[in-house]
Amino acid sequence: MRLHSALKSLLIGAATSSALFVRRAEISTSPVRELVSRTDNEKNDSNYELSLSCRNSPEHRACWDGEHNLWTNYEDISKVPTGELRKFELTLTNGWIAPDGYNVSKILVNGQYPGPPIEGNWGDTFEIVVHNQLSDGNGTSIHFHGISQLGTNRMDGTSGVVQCPIPPGQSMTYQWRANQYGTSWYHSHFSLQYTNGVLGPLIIHGPTSANYDEEYTLMLSDWYHVSAFTLFYSEVLGSPPIPPSKLLNGKWKFPCNSTDPQCVPNEGGFTDFKFEKGKKYKLRLINTSTTYMQTFWIDGHTFTVTAADLVSIEPYKTDVINIAIGQRYDIIVEANAETSKQSNFWINMKTCVIPPGATPPECSTEDARTGIIRYDSNSTEDPPRISNCANIQVCHDESSIVSFKPIIKKTVPMPPASVLQELFPASDSWPDESIPWNQSTGHRWNMGNETFFGDWSNPTYTYLGAESGGQSKPLPESYEAIYLNGKDEWVYFVINANWTQTRPGRMPITLDHPIHLHGHDFVILAQITNEQFQQGAIKFNLDNPVRRDTAVMPGGGFLVIAFETNNPGAWLMHCHIAFHSSAGFALQFIERESEILGLMSGSEAKQFHDQCGAWREAWEVNPARLASLQDSGA
Ligand SMILES: *[C@@H]1O[C@H](CO)[C@@H](O)[C@H](O)[C@H]1NC(C)=O
Ligand SMILES: *[C@@H]1O[C@H](CO)[C@@H](O)[C@H](O)[C@H]1NC(C)=O
Ligand SMILES: *[C@@H]1O[C@H](CO)[C@@H](O)[C@H](O)[C@H]1NC(C)=O
Ligand SMILES: *[C@@H]1O[C@H](CO)[C@@H](O)[C@H](O)[C@H]1NC(C)=O
Ligand SMILES: *[C@@H]1O[C@H](CO)[C@@H](O)[C@H](O)[C@H]1NC(C)=O
Ligand SMILES: *[C@@H]1O[C@H](CO)[C@@H](O)[C@H](O)[C@H]1NC(C)=O
Ligand SMILES: *[C@@H]1O[C@H](CO)[C@@H](O)[C@H](O)[C@H]1NC(C)=O
Ligand SMILES: *[C@@H]1O[C@H](CO)[C@@H](O)[C@H](O)[C@H]1NC(C)=O
Ligand SMILES: *[C@@H]1O[C@H](CO)[C@@H](O)[C@H](O)[C@H]1NC(C)=O
Ligand SMILES: [Cu+2]
């Protein structure tokens, strides 16, 4: 998915040609130094000044448009470039595809998988019209992962929270402004639907903390050959099957049995990327998986990490990176491999199925080869196999606390014990929680006190009074609401997996879960495996801790996060293993409740009400959910 160079110049050109970006008389031509060093934690004022007066180019990636740069505090929307309006249309249809050579029924976005990129510049306003043309009765809604939606909670795309699903045959327009920049993705937030294909890259061009010449986007995913909706029951009655296949930018070669009628031998293959010796490439890695964490490396190359989710960090070098579901990394790879013996190199991706503390699985169990880097653009040969295993001991989240230093620094106040709230994720016996855990055949997840269930026909906004002139009703327990009423205050949560069982039907489970928060980048104050949380005994990382929107809660341990209540709205926090979230691993923050409905314009309020009316009508004639579908809706 190489960014077409014409499109790129159009995008950059668009920003610089805007009347607001008056070209300065003197544009610096001397290169801004290779940015801040890993040891220098202070903003280098002369770099800052230099990069203010220059424009983004291969030698000046910290610069942007002559007015803004890598050090601009984008969380303050008044400091963000003005940008322009960019329009997109996404049409969802059911269709058959064979991206890995195995013919399956999926949902396509504009006739393709993955969906087309939504792409623009820092500061732009994005308008996305979504058309639900599905023939399977499914509703839909689109979430823009990691986008903070400052002041636009209603555009967050969470079915059952900020909207009723878009009914079949209908459309909805989302509009939001990009105050952040970097690499992300959009995906359906209607139950397990994204696993069936509803996703695509979301690229917002902006400054980068290391220089590069060209860029590619890499969508990494696991891939099922059956509908995710049918697999939901294997989650509830055990665990979902290991995905049989995987895809890099919608391609792979599944080892197909040619007697299987669904095999399409001449389809599928490896996505390849052309490298020119001496150039530097920015690879935007996006993990759009459903079930498992993956580890990523490229034979013969090391790389420099410049961003974690939508947060630029001081560059650091590594040769392998673990990416949890929902996470993104921007890496810079220098095309400097030893090419005397081979001109093509494998891009490798391996599933992490290991529980914390376990020994890594045999390297031979899964073929890691996933895509190809080609220095010889004429070659069509497969590279020789170099390594089938990365040099990793345990497949955990990146040790981000040690490695990642955000460029825009923040110091977090020490939390008093009274504000630190603990959440105890659990697996509950289901449907009857009073049955001892090991005697129940069904189980669901629970992140707050109960397993999450949001009624698509009565979203959180309806309870907040969106359809009753602001007259609110208490939210049902299963909506798992945590009220955050303070304004611009730090709030702190311990997501704690190491606790003592007190109820026979509720069990702590030693599994890693990638925790994703909507509406905020959270800071990670602690992320510790196989240990008990004890206030006072744990040292919090308060000095410029890593910020991101997805981080792993280590099984048997805990994750301590914090964020500032600077964005009123109803925001989900959930596990990004789609099956877990669907089985209840979710809760929602009601942040500054009294301000939420005031953010909706009159036409938005009408759209909300009309869409919910149409959805309720459509749903009544399609009682599948009530009769059989038992998932949380998130
Ligand atoms: C900042 O950068 C300038 C020029 O690139 C250099 O001379 C100076 O030593 C740097 N200051 C610090 C604190 O690193
Ligand atoms: C995939 O299966 C569908 C439904 O059976 C069929 O219409 C389609 O032609 C098949 N595609 C390929 C490439 O075989
Ligand atoms: C969505 O469609 C799938 C088939 O594509 C079906 O199995 C599932 O029940 C539908 N879900 C809802 C909620 O309509
Ligand atoms: C392919 O499928 C056929 C029929 O199901 C089976 O007999 C055969 O053993 C399979 N071949 C391989 C290589 O799995
Ligand atoms: C994507 O995330 C899943 C789940 O966390 C993980 O199993 C997988 O290894 C990740 N993929 C990559 C390429 O890192
Ligand atoms: C690829 O083939 C074309 C045409 O044969 C040739 O002009 C070009 O130099 C080749 N490129 C490389 C990298 O060998
Ligand atoms: C279930 O767990 C309890 C207590 O942990 C244990 O005493 C009992 O034997 C277990 N039952 C089964 C069927 O494994
Ligand atoms: C769980 O219950 C406790 C005690 O009733 C309450 O203080 C807390 O807010 C609840 N948490 C959630 C997530 O509902
Ligand atoms: C929970 O923490 C204790 C001590 O801090 C540790 O010994 C134990 O292994 C942890 N439990 C799990 C399941 O990791
Ligand atoms: Cu999970």
What is the distance between the alpha carbons of residues 35 and 511, in angstroms, rounded to a whole number? 38
Which residues form the pocket of ligand 6, taking CB atoms under 6 Å from any ligand atom? Answer: 376-378
List the single range of 33-42, 506-515, 617-626 with lowest mean pLDDT: 33-42
DSSP, res 520: -
Is 421 close to ligand 8, i.e. is its CB under 6 Å away?
no
Does 361 or 152 have the greater pLDDT score?
A: 152
From the CA of 260, give the closest atom in ligand 4. 2
As beta bridge partners, residue 587 has 573
Q: How many Cβ atoms from other residues are within 10 Å of residue 165's Cβ?
A: 29
pLDDT in tens, 97-115: 999 999 999 999 999 999 9
DSSP string across 578-614: HHHHHTT-EEEEEESHHHHGGGS-HHHHHHHHHHHHH
Q: Report how far ligand 10's centroid is from the alpha carbon of 582 (Å).
A: 10
List the single range of 96-110, 111-125, 340-354, 582-596 with lowest mean pLDDT: 340-354
* Length of the chain as a residue count: 634
pLDDT confidence band for 230 (50 / 70 / 90): confident
As beta bridge partners, residue 284 has 217, 330
Q: Report how far ligand 3's centroid is from the alpha carbon of 138 (Å).
A: 5
Q: Report how far ligand 4's centroid is from the alpha carbon of 259 (Å).
A: 7
DSSP, res 343: S
pLDDT confidence band for 356 (50 / 70 / 90): very low
Torsion of CA 377, 382, 385, 389, to 10 degrees: 80
Is 482 close to ligand 8, i.e. is its CB under 6 Å away?
yes
End-to-end CA distance of the chain: 29
Is 438 close to ligand 7, i.e. is its CB under 6 Å away?
yes
What does the pLDDT average to over 480-491? 97
Say whether pTM exceeds 0.85.
Answer: yes
Mutate to test the pocket of ligand 6, among 279, 374, 375, 378 (most ligand atoms within 8 A of CB): 378
Residue type for position 303: F
Task: Note whether 86 and 205 are within 8 A (CB).
Answer: no
- What does the pLDDT read at residue 536? 84
The number of CA neighbours under 13 Å toward the Cβ of 99 is 27
- What does the pLDDT read at residue 17? 28
Q: How many Å is the maximal CA-CA distance in the chain?
A: 76
Does 563 or 296 have the greater pLDDT score?
A: 563
- What does the pLDDT read at residue 563? 98
Which helix H or strand E contains 463, and what residues bound it?
Answer: helix 460-464
Is 351 close to ligand 5, i.e. is its CB under 6 Å away?
yes
Q: What tokens were used for 466?
A: 């969106």
What is the distance between the alpha carbons of residues 446 and 342, in angstroms, rounded to a whole number? 51
As beta bridge partners, residue 552 has 514
Q: Report how far ligand 5's centroid is from the alpha carbon of 292 (Å).
A: 5
The chain-wide mean pLDDT, for the chain, equals: 87
Which candidate, 407, 208, 206, 410, places its Cα nearest to that of 314? 407
Mutate to test the pocket of ligand 9, among 396, 510, 532, 538 (most ligand atoms within 8 A of CB): 532
What is the distance between the alpha carbons of residues 514 and 276, in angstroms, rounded to a whole number? 36
As beta bridge partners, residue 114 has none
DSSP string across 366-400: S--EEEEEESSTT--SPPPP--SS-S-SS--S--H
Does 286 or 569 have the greater pLDDT score?
A: 569
Is 480 close to ligand 8, i.e. is its CB under 6 Å away?
yes
Which candidate, 488, 597, 453, places its Cα nearest to that of 154? 597
From the CA of 375, give the closest atom in ligand 6. 13
As beta bridge partners, residue 166 has 140
Mutate to test the pocket of ligand 7, among 438, 439, 500 (most ligand atoms within 8 A of CB): 438
Share of the chain above pLDDT 90, in %: 67
What is the distance between the alpha carbons of residues 328 and 287, in angstroms, rounded to a whole number? 6
Protein residue whose Cα sits closest to atom 2 of ligand 6? 378
What does the pLDDT average to over 24-43? 39
Q: What tokens were used for 80?
A: 């963000």
The number of CA neighbours under 13 Å toward the Cβ of 341 is 7
pLDDT confidence band for 233 (50 / 70 / 90): confident
- What does the pLDDT read at residue 49? 58
Task: Note whether 395 and 358 are within 8 A (CB).
Answer: no
Task: Note whether 561 and 522 are within 8 A (CB).
Answer: yes
From the CA of 47, give the closest atom in ligand 1. 2
What does the pLDDT average to over 171-190? 97
Task: Evaluate if residue 40 carries a pLDDT over 60.
Answer: no
Is 588 close to ligand 8, i.e. is its CB under 6 Å away?
no
Which helix H or strand E contains 202, and what residues bound it?
Answer: strand 199-205
List the single range of 53-57, 301-305, 435-439, 538-542 with lowest mean pLDDT: 53-57
List the single range of 402-406, 501-505, 587-591 with lowest mean pLDDT: 402-406
Q: What tokens were used for 350?
A: 């391996």
**Cβ burial, residue 106 (10 Å; 0-12/13-18/19+):** buried
Protein residue whose Cα sits closest to atom 7 of ligand 3? 229
- What does the pLDDT read at residue 324? 80
Is 441 close to ligand 7, i.e. is its CB under 6 Å away?
no
What is the distance between the alpha carbons of residues 443 and 44, in angstroms, rounded to a whole number? 53
